Structure 1
Amino acid sequence: MSLCSRLFYFSKKGSFFLLFLLPLNLFASLSFYEFFKTNHSIMLIINANSGEIIDANKAAQTFYQYTFEEITQLNIADINTFSEHQVLEELQLAKKQNRNFFIFRHQLKDGQIKTVEVRTTPYVLENQDVLISIIQDVTLERFKQNDVLHYQGQLEALVDEQTQQLQEAHHSQLIYFAFATLVLAMTILILLKILKNLKKLKDTLAYKNNEIEHLLDNNAVAIFLANSQRNICKANRRAYEMFGYTKEELMNQSFEMIHISKNSFNDFAPQYHKLLKQEMTNIEYPFKKKDGSIIWCSVYGTRINCETCTNEIIWTLIDITDKKLIQKERENTAQKLELTLEATNVGVWDWDIVNNHVIWDKNLYHLLGYEENAFKVTYEKWQSILHPQDKQKAHQSVQDQLQHGNIFMAEMRYKKADNSWIWIEARGKVVRYDENKNPLQMVGINTDITHLKEYESILKQEVSKKTKELNALNKNLEQRIEIEVQKNLQKDILIQQKTRLAAIGEMIGNIAHQWRQPLSVITTSVSGLKLKEELALLDSSDIDEVNECVMKNANFLSHTIDNFRNFFANTDEKERTFLVANVLETTINIIKNTYDHNFITLITKVNKNISYYGSENLLSQVILNLLTNAKDALLCHEILEKYVYIELFEKNEYIYITIQDNAKGIDQEIQNKIFDPYFTTKHQSQGTGLGLYISN
């Protein structure tokens, strides 16, 4: 019967009565609840703010094993075993993996824990914010998805009683005209009220239809309505988006349009037949998008029957392409892992500690020469096939892991099927604990190390042999080392003596420069005195003047001798605290005449307050060595304007003396060699190659 009311006229004794035969689907507001209640999918309506379960369909009551009254007294947190932290982790993981569902663990009334996939859609129902959740049990098959909400419903007549009363009134022949008029007036009033209610119900129906359309279009899964000829009668927005078609392209088309091929379309036909027999269907099936790409879907079908539709089916399709790819990748990875374990002689074991049940993979049986599952493995059985000398050590290693959480690792011998022994390296770790931190499950691997043990035995024999040979060589080597040490000591003494002689030679040259000018002054003064005597011009004042000049220069020569004598004093002098600037000044005075003679400008920047505890003489020798090298470098490269820069400063509790010249620097190739003994860039007649070595 259509949604439009049918109008009938009856005439009886001049009175006219009009009656409306109201449509059966007048109560369209019941459509969503009818869809919700009769759906085979597990569905809950949850308060979005408090988490209280407002409603649950029959499938949910059956799954969770609660009555309607019991389940509507629960909060969703009462059946979700995840902690708040685990829920947040799952939400982040779903966002990262770009999936539109969540994976939780729900507890049934009998205490069973089920792994479920939950698809939740926020919605406003009767001015209340709710969450409509579709739950699918994926405990055994992780990638199976449950169907989404579908709807069906029917309307019932609202005015049967009024119509019956009117018909009885029309058949009454004893009524007076006045009473008929009164009845007519009352009927008109009733009908006006009915018309008003009818308009209100139509508006409500339109609003509810819009709500359902909105709910379906905003659902995370694709929903198709198909007729008995397997044509698409209706689809939600997600369906068009999933397959890449527009509404106009899919509407009234055969489902073959989204199948991979004609054969695929025909192979899917048995699923229709199941539904027509009131059997449930839920399979994973590949389909084809508009661009030709393949999409895997979890398909759930529900048959609906009403006065306006017969044998129509609601198909719910959930995109599981990513899951299929992950599943395929896992299968490939598992296959590769199995091949790797076989190739490397590695077996895997899993120990249920509470029930004392151990699972071996086939590789572990094969390592011992047995067929897969040749015997039941327990902790006692494992102990029985160990070598007697290894049992206690293996048991203790396991107990340490169980008590302290260390990684179980032990090398032990196993008895094979042919009674021979095989060396095994076992590694394991507890991976699951109860709420009291008691171990529940341990997993690990066993690796065949028999060949390694054989190599180890051979290696030990070889090491023992080589050790004896090495001990014999060591005795001879110790004697040779002692001889070489004595030679090196003699060599070091000669190096020091040669360096000292070279320094003495350098100092003699400096003495010559220091003495040249004062000796020249003395000679000139005496010669002038002699000349005045010969010319009879000599008087006592001349003698006094010459005497003063000679004494002044003689004192300078004596002071110079003292400086050089101090420079070559014993290097084992007692250490003391001294001003570094004084040592620097004394050293510069020794070489200053040589610098002046070679037109080398010496520029200093000295902090005179820096003190140091040590040997003044050794520091002076190092500085003199560096100043001499700077002079030689400037002369070697024939620099016209020759400069040497000396700076003394303190930084971060360290004393720095920097000596720089404007020669060409040290080649990068030899920078790592300049402190080696006998290394020199000078001619053999000019350098020993020991100055920087001794200084360092």
Structure 2
Amino acid sequence: MKSLNDKLWIGGWALILNILLLLPQATAAELNFENVFESHSAVLLIVEPETGHILDANKAASQFYGYSRIELKQMNIQDVNTLTAEEVANERKLAKKEHRNFFIFRHRLKNGEIKTVEVHSNPYQYMGKTVLLSVIHDISKQRQMQDDLWHYQGRLEQMVDRQTAELKETHQLTVMILLIGILLLLGLIAALVFAIRKLQEAKKVEQRERQMLDEIIWGTGVGTYEWNVQTGVMKTNKRFLEMVGYKREELEPVTIETWKNLTHPLDLEVALEIIEKTFSKEREFYESEFRMTHKDGSIVWVLSKGNVVEWSQEGKPLRMSGTHTNITSLKQTEVELEKAKKIAEEASLAKSEFLASMSHDLRAPMMGIRGVLGLLRDNKTVVKQESDLLDDLDDMSTRMMSLLDDILDLSKIEAGQLQLDVDAWEPAKIIENIVSLFRPTALKKDIEISTTASQYLGYWCKTDDIRLRQIVSNLVSNAVKYTKSGSVDVDVHIALGEENDRLVIEVKDTGVGISKEKLDGIFDRFTQPLQKGNTQGGRAGLGLAIAHELTEIMGGRLTAKSTPGQGSVFTLSLPVQWAERPVLEHKQDFVIAPLKVLMFKANPVNQKVIASMLMRNGHSVSVAEDVEDMLAYAQAERFDVILLDSEMAEDGAFKVIGDIRQKQGPNKDKPIIAFAKLSPKQKWDELTEAGVTSIIAKPVKHERFFAELGRLFGDKKKS
């Protein structure tokens, strides 16, 4: 009889143990493992049994430990277990001794908090190998409750023992039935307690996580909402409403209509369109910026983000949640930045226009000075000493004109107004001319200068010859300037390519060289590429910068290599568009009969130079002091040609042109030549429409002026 009772006791406790163990297993068997693993509210880990490496973790584990899923998969179980290896071994022995199928450990979360946990581990076939599937329960606060439960179970066992002892004297069948009933009752109670405890723990975890999330969101100043799409009701946090200055009781019930009423009508239409695209799954997430009206009447800019978190079986949106972020200050910053950008652009444009205007205004008197120098040098009575001084003045004026040209080019580049004048040219001829131009200077310094351009004579391509001359002249000028002795070589070759060929020009010198520090900024503006201690130069440091920018505008590359004390190599590479040699008319010389010229006294120096040259060539010149004087001359006398300046005061040029062309005076059909700045182009069009015959760009080049006179009045020379 005693043996039978012992078996009943053992069977009963085995039944209870199986009920406790099989509860979670039964649930797992009913569901797809992956879905259950990911969505289960319990903390689940898959662990490599040999190494303790964490192979995978579910969302609940990530939330519990504070690590992302990716971080957990890179960790070992010992990274979170605070027990030493010896303490872990003792716990395993204790669990075995107490016949427990779980272990009690202390785990450290990412934030440093220590939690007492139960770890239930069972072997499981995962991806073709045996792993441990561990279920972790936080029992920090429930440990006492568990101890009480175990104590209660012990009391029940004592009661059963006492009742069993009292019933031993009764019938054996009655004892067995009662015993089995009690055991079943205990098992059901234990299972119920276990289930209730798990449910309570899950609710506490959920509440704790929700509270933690709310605290985090509150700290960021972000408003949150949960929108029931079917009913229109919106659950919001306090910050959502405070963002627009309201308390909850002022707007309740809060619905989607509340949001619509507070949103700017123009922005609402766009936001609703984006929401519809999110509902139709054209967009994965909802994101929109819009203006909302604050309680005090001010405008609040809001960045709204959201996602549909629940769909119906028919694919209709049921619930959408998201955030509102106040971006008013960001928008104000954007407006201020846009204003600052506009101001900077206007300032840059004003600077460029000022530089262009200044260079034009400076070039005009400089051209006058150079004209006077030309007249003086043509004077046969000039003695040797005076001639040398005139040469010095001519050299300095040339440098000044070069600097003014640099400033003008720079202003055009900055304003985006520099345009290329592309035509068919022979680049080898251009390069040979440049080398010939600098050969006298090189020979004075005992420098050998050479070029290989002759091998490409006869090759024509489309390019801007003025800009090509400007770039190469700058490179050759620098090479000669910074070379004390040795050589300057200008090598030319054609690099053939699949898409296009390239003209490559290398200017090599044996000069002072450039240090690495200065070489890095060699193409920066206002940079002098000189070694310390070299006193040559005198330019403003714009030449190479302008050459580099011109090269890029022409679609090419300009690079530099240099070794201090050994020399430098500048390489210009330009795309080549080959062209046929143009059919040119032979240059014709003209003889101009004496002309009677009426001109306006605009710039006194230039007026005197032009008048002197005209008179030296046998022409008579009348100079008008002002507009009224000009009109009087034009109506009183007949002239062969009339010279005007487009910048005469109070649109005087147009007044003179209109008076001459409209009145039946002696000069109604006579040619009128106007001197005008290159820009704005609109001024040229207006002058042409007003009745001007020819326009010559300022500053006036005398060759261009007399060529135009030859075109209008010249007779071809007889050979």
Find the structure with the greater CA-based Rg.
1
**TM (normalized to structure 1)?**
0.38
**TM (normalized to structure 2)?**
0.37
